[in-house]
Structure 1
Amino acid sequence: MSKPYIGVKNGRLSECPTSPNCVSTQTDQEEKRMDALVFTKDLETTKSLIEEILSERQRTTIETENENYIHAVVESKWIKFKDDVEFYFDQKDEVVHFRSASRVGYSDFGVNKKRMEAISQHYDSMRRETHDV
C-alpha cells in the first residue's frame, strides 16, 4: 500500500492503513468505516458547522482549508502525538466524508473512532437545531 496522502484525489480521501489507528467514511475496511455526515442546508452552512465544532475542540488546529476540504491536526495531551483529521464536502452527493488517522504508532486505543463519533454526534445535534431534519 502506498503512503497515505493528505487531501482529496478523484473524490476520495486516502485509504486507511492496515493498522487499527484510523477511521474513514470511504474505507473498504469494515471495522474502520463510519457513516458520512449529511449536508445541512447547503455547502456553506455545513462547512461552517464543521468549522465551529473544530474551533471548540482542544488542541485542534485547522491546517488547510479550501472550498470543499478541511484538514485539521489534533495533538494528544501528553505525548504530543499528532492525528490528521480530514473532511471532504461532496457537493454532488451532499455528504461530508471524513478520515481521522494517527501519524505514528500502531494502535490508538480507539481515539480516532471516539473523536469522530463525538464530532458526528455534535454535528447531528447542531444540524437538528439549524435545519428541520
Structure 2
Amino acid sequence: MESVPFTHCPTNKKNCVSTIDLTSYHRIEPLPVSGEVADAKARIHQTLKQFDHVEIKEEGTHYVHAVFTSKWMKFKDDLELYIDESTHLLHFKSGSRLGYYDFKVNRKRVERFKSLFNNG
C-alpha cells in the first residue's frame, strides 16, 4: 500500500473512522475503485456534491480534503479521501474536530458516501 496522507484516529476519542485504523470502533473498510485516478476523482467530486454544507479545502492528484459544517451548531468535520493507485482502493478518514463522541455521524457519512459513489 502506498502511504496515505493522513494519520490514525485518536484512540481516546470515538468521533472518527478511518481505513487505516485497526480498532473495531474506528475501522472502516476502504472502497474498491477501478479505472483511472482522474475518473475516481471525478466520482468523488460528483458524490460530494450530493451532500449539504461541504467544501473542498485541499486537493492533490490522489487526495481530497473536504470539510462538512453542521447545520445548527456549525461544528466542522474533516473528510479525507485518498486513492491508492497500487491497490485500487479509496481510503477514508472522517473525524470531528471537537468533542469525544459523534453518535456515529462520521461512520454514517462515510457509509453514505460509499453508497452514493457506487451508485453514481
27-36 or 17-26, larger mean C-alpha shift: 27-36
Among candidates 113, 123, 128, match of residue 107 of structure 2: 113
Q: In terms of Rg, which structure is larger?
A: 1
Q: Which runs of 5+ in 1 are unaligned?
A: 1-8, 127-133
Q: Distance in 1 between matches of 2:4 and 2:54?
A: 25
Give the corresponding residue for 2:60: 66
Equivalent position of 1:11 in the other structure: 4
The question of 1:51 aligning with 2:45 is answered yes
State the partner residue of 1:93.
Answer: 87
> Which amino acid is the alignment partner of residue 96 of structure 2?
S
The offset of 1:50, in angstroms, is: 0.7
CA distance in 2: counterparts of 1:34 and 1:114, whole angstroms: 11
- TM, length-normalised to structure 2: 0.92
Query: Identity over aligned residues, as a percent?
Result: 37
Query: Structure 1 residue aligned with 2:117, among 99, 123, 126?
Result: 123
Shift in Å at residue 13 of structure 1? 2.2
Where in structure 2 are there 5+ consecutive unaligned residues? none
Count of residue pairs the alignment pairs up: 118
Instruction: Work out which of the residue numbers 35, 45, 49 in structure 1 matches 2:29.
Output: 35
CA deviation digits over 1:20-57, x for unaligned, max 9? 10011111212221111111322111111011111221
8 A Cα contact 1:61 1:74, kept in partner: yes
CA shift digits 1:54-76 (9 cap, x unpaired): 12210000000010100000001
Higher helix share: 1
Question: TM-score of the superposition, structure 1-length normalised?
Answer: 0.84
